[in-house]
Amino acid sequence: MVIERPFKCPQEFKGLVFVRYQDHVLYNRNVAFAMMPQIREAIGWFVCESDQYITLSWDRDSKPTLHGDAKASGLVLLKSDILELKKLE
């Protein structure tokens, strides 16, 4: 499957969110059939979304420039892997 970006993400960050999601697991020299996705949690600023995924940032400059934050860190998560997503006050 090829994921296309059908839009341009806005440069400004949105509100703070909590997300619980299934994550892939990399294993090495282990019993393959015993492996399964792990459930992970993250808190961050909601950046943007498409029909297939969301982008959130958990570390950013306090005052992003007009060109965004080239030093931001975060996650791009497939919506199919998200178990829970809620806005935080």
Q: For the segment 20-79, what is each residue's pLDDT rounded down to a tens digit?
A: 999 999 999 999 999 999 999 999 999 888 889 999 999 988 876 666 667 889 999 999
Distance of alpha carbon 72 from alpha carbon 83, whole angstroms = 24
pLDDT at site 6: 54
Instruction: State both tokens at 15.
Output: 């509100």
Categorize the per-residue pLDDT at 15 as very low, low, confident or very high, splitting at 50, 70 and 90: confident
Residue keyed to tokens 């498409």:
50
How far is the CA of 56 from the CAs of 9, 32, 34, 49, 75, in angstroms? 11, 31, 31, 9, 5
pLDDT at site 19: 96
pTM: 0.78
